[in-house]
Amino acid sequence: MDIQAIALTGVLALAALLVASLFASKAWLAWLEVRKLELARGGPTSDEPTAPVSGNRIELADLRERVRKLEAIAAGIDL
């Protein structure tokens, strides 16, 4: 390979990286704008699934039980 081919490959790779970075930046800013609108509106959009309040309580109780068991294991207590 000659030096021109290597330089051209490097320039093309750099250009591709620039295009990908610009695309990712635009996508990130658009996502942040959606989240800002959700916060201003007061919650998630209606098409997003939400768990019922009782489901949240059950999940929270389950997590507390797991933490209690892990703390007991860390303390060396056999349940």
9-18, 21-30, 65-74: least confidently modelled range: 65-74
Q: Tell me, what's the pLDDT at 3? A: 94
pLDDT at 16 over 70: yes
**What is the rounded radius of gyration, in angstroms, for the C-alpha atoms of the chain?**
25
d(CA 47, CA 12): 41
pLDDT tens digits for 22-69? 999 999 999 999 999 988 888 665 666 665 667 778 888 889 999 999
End-to-end alpha carbon distance in the chain: 68
Q: Tell me, what's the pLDDT at 61? A: 87
Q: Tell me, what's the pLDDT at 19? A: 96
